[in-house]
């Protein structure tokens, strides 16, 4: 398996909206939240639960900032990713000493990226390009802003857990938020592919996340077959166990991310974006909450119909009803806030790590 792709000219996407690459379930949540006028302002001003300046100073004092004279190649990769996705501000990037492979985007006003030395040691240049662009995708989507808001709400809500059935209600909220976060990771993977424009490199990242550097011992087709086997997963009991295993996960499993990026790359949407057919930020204000909720419900329905998991078949009708109810709720919220909603690429920070 080839581990390096020669550098080449890559397609740029002027004015691209984050809606172009966001998973429908992620996009619908973001469009709905952005439509709630003043919601983000109130939560941003709440007590210092997220002190971006203090966190940045921690890395400024204890890590290495990439630039023209330090980690120049990494700095160039970040700059190129920001250029390709037309990000208004090139994020700073810091390298921190940690053998664990990890990357994250932090902040909202001036988001920055942190990568570990373990990540740099694990990936080749094209793989690193995918990982960095994954974080830039988080930034363009504004995931950190809204995910931080949700974490604040979760902390406030936990104070109500003493109420009758309070724990059940909080648990349901947390389950829903984690499902959103996992879909946000799939969105960022798509942004990574749009920047790197190298599907094989994206796949290698997922394989290395699961099995480390020994690519000679791994096979992409076998890994994809493993993803299909995981999806099929025996009987209803296995499907339920998979559901339980995912509840506390911030990221989908590597085989699932591998299969998802492969499916998206081959499904036509990726090629349309490369050809210049994509939503622009200039049109974000006209994004419809109702339409995005329908897209999310359609996406889940298609996923369920294509799944061989027997547990999915048992809960499909319940989930369809929940999705339709959510669509009606956000539709009412949108009307109360004056129209179609405000979607698209936020000027916020990234979310969870690519690794």
CA distances from 282 to 7, 93, 136 (A): 31, 28, 19
Residue 151 token pair = 């974490």
Rounded Cα gap, residues 91 and 114, in angstroms: 10
**Residue 235 Rama label (left phi>0; alpha psi -120 to 50; beta):** beta
Catalytic annotation, pick one of 52, 126, 135, 292:
135
Residue of 122, 124, 128 lying closest to 213 (CA atoms) = 122
Contact 255, 226 (CB under 8 A): yes
Question: Active site includes 135?
Answer: yes
The phi, psi pair for 160, rounded to 5°, reads: -95, 5
Which value, to the nearest 10 degrees, does the dihedral of the CA atoms of residues 230, 231, 237, 242 take?
70
- DSSP-derived secondary structure for 42-99: HHHTSSSSS-HHHHHHHHHHHSEE-SSSSSHHHHHHHHHHHHHTT-SSPPPEEEE--S
User: Catalytic residues, which ones?
Assistant: 135
């Amino acid at each position: 398996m080839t581990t390096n792709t020669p550098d080449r000219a890559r397609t740029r996407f002027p004015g691209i909206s984050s809606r172009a690459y966001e998973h429908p379930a992620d996009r619908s949540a973001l469009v709905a939240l952005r439509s709630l006028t003043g919601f983000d302002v109130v939560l941003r001003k709440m007590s210092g639960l997220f002190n971006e300046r203090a966190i940045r100073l921690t890395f400024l004092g204890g890590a290495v900032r990439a630039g023209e004279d330090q980690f120049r190649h990494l700095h160039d990769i970040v700059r190129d990713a920001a250029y390709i996705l037309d990000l208004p501000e090139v994020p700073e990037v810091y390298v921190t000493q940690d053998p664990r492979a990890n990357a994250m985007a932090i902040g909202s006003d001036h988001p920055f990226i942190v990568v570990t030395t373990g990540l740099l040691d694990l990936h080749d240049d094209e793989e690193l390009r995918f990982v960095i662009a994954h974080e830039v995708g988080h930034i363009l989507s504004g995931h950190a802003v809204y995910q931080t808001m949700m974490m604040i709400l979760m902390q406030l809500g936990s104070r109500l857990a003493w109420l009758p059935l309070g724990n059940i209600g909080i648990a349901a909220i947390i389950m829903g938020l984690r499902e959103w976060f996992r879909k946000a990771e799939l969105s960022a993977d798509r942004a990574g592919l749009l920047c790197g424009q190298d599907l094989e490199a994206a796949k290698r990242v997922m394989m290395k996340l699961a099995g480390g550097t020994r690519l000679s011992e791994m096979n992409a087709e076998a890994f994809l077959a493993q993803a299909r086997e995981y999806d099929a997963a025996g009987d209803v009991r296995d499907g339920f166990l998979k559901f339980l295993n995912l509840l506390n996960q911030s990221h989908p499993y590597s085989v699932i991310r591998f299969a998802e990026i492969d499916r998206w790359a081959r499904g036509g949407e990726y090629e349309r974006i490369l050809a210049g057919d994509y939503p622009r930020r200039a049109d974000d204000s006209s994004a419809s909450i109702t339409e995005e909720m329908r897209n999310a419900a359609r996406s889940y329905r298609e996923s369920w119909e294509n799944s061989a998991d027997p547990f999915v078949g048992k809960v499909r009708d319940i989930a369809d009803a929940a999705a339709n109810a959510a669509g009606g709720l956000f539709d009412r919220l949108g009307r109360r806030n004056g129209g179609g909603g405000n979607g698209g690429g936020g000027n916020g920070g990234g979310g969870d790590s690519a690794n």
